[in-house]
Structure 1
């Protein structure tokens, strides 16, 4: 079985409780600390087995193989990946059966993370997530006042909802570039400054 570690909680004696997003489920598993265990961390993609026991309500993680990506040797990219991946657990924690979409989304992002701007990859992935969940924002009206959006004064708030800059008190972005992100999941037309603005918005949560 393969999955991404989207939450890592340390418990007594350096044991771990892990939330692992697999192709179909969000698994909560226990991992005992041991000197022979390889290092695993948030965001790692692993191949693993689950051992179930009548003595515990959660399964035990064992026979772990780390499925690494070359960019994990780049500390800056790795830090951004940890930040991005950590957003998934609060969003999915109430769902045991997740289907294949979220796993595939992370896998596709991981494969592009080393060759493209990671923040752009993350924003495009999130736009795909919003579309998949039926949460694509209204691109014609302000989230706050519900009046029409003026192209000269549009900004994006949490969940990439559109708003007037005066209503949200945020920096404006190019509406055409924002539309391309949401309609076609492409961050191509966003400037680096706009990418940083939307990355900060993304960090507010899914």
Structure 2
């Protein structure tokens, strides 16, 4: 079985509770510590085996092998990718069954990160996620006052569109938002604007 590690919690010395996103499930498994065990962390894609346990209700994580990606050799990209995965872990709280979109699209993202700007790539993935979940608002209606946005479009948490005056935040050009929301491309945004989008994303998925 293959999966993406969403979170690890240390318990009893070096043992771990591990949350893993697979193609159709979010699993919570127990991993016993051992000198021969490979190192695992949030954001790792792994191949593994799930083993039943007769002593506890939680199943065991066994035979872990990390799936290598080129971007893992670039520290900054790993840091920002892991930030996104931690946000996704919170998004999947109390979730056990998931659509294959999540694992497959994140795997595709990881395969291309070595040749892309990590923040731009993650933001584009996030917009795809919002669209998949039916939460991408292209109507240009302010979520606070419910009136049409005529000029620059400000974005709140979850990239909800708003008037600049309603959320006291500078907006983005309409053309840039259209390109991002419709084509899933950040090409029109400056690096400074990407930093602003990243901060909005980090408010929560």
Q: Which of the five TM-score ranges fits, normalised by the shorter chain?
A: over 0.9
The superposition leaves residues 49-74 of structure 1 with CA deviations (integer Å, 9 ceiling, x where unpaired) of 01111211111101011001111111
- Give 1:85 shift: 0.8
Partners of 1:3 and 1:69 in 2: how far apart?
A: 14
- What pairs with 1:83-102 in structure 2 (closer than 5 Å)? 83-102=83-102
- Give 1:174 shift: 1.8
**Cα contact 1:139–1:179 (8 A) shared by 2:** no
Partners of 1:99 and 1:133 in 2: how far apart?
A: 10
Which secondary structure does the structure 2 equivalent of 1:194 belong to? helix
- What pairs with 1:45-124 in structure 2 (closer than 5 Å)? 45-124=45-124
Partners of 1:178 and 1:54 in 2: how far apart?
A: 53
Gaps of 5+ in 1: none
**Cα contact 2:71–2:110 (8 A) shared by 1:** no
- Give 1:93 shift: 2.2
- Give 1:117 shift: 0.7
Partners of 2:172 and 2:192 in 1: how far apart?
A: 9
Which secondary structure does the structure 1 equivalent of 2:81 belong to? helix
Partners of 1:91 and 1:21 in 2: how far apart?
A: 12
The superposition leaves residues 120-160 of structure 1 with CA deviations (integer Å, 9 ceiling, x where unpaired) of 11111111111111111143211111121022x32111111
Partners of 1:100 and 1:140 in 2: how far apart?
A: 30
The TM-score with structure 1 as length reference comes to 0.96
- Give 1:83 shift: 0.3
Partners of 2:131 and 2:41 in 1: how far apart?
A: 29
Gaps of 5+ in 2: none
Please list every run of at least 4 consecutive aligned residues from structure 1 whose deviation after the TM superposition is greater than 4 angstroms.
none
Range that drifts further, 39-48 or 162-171: 162-171
Which secondary structure does the structure 1 equivalent of 2:13 belong to? helix
Aligned length: 205
Partners of 2:33 and 2:131 in 1: how far apart?
A: 40
**Cα contact 2:26–2:96 (8 A) shared by 1:** yes
The superposition leaves residues 14-63 of structure 1 with CA deviations (integer Å, 9 ceiling, x where unpaired) of 11111000111101001111111111110000000011112111111010
The superposition leaves residues 178-201 of structure 1 with CA deviations (integer Å, 9 ceiling, x where unpaired) of 111111211121211111111111
Q: Does 1:174 align with 2:168?
A: no
Range that drifts further, 184-193 or 19-28: 184-193
The TM-score with structure 2 as length reference comes to 0.96
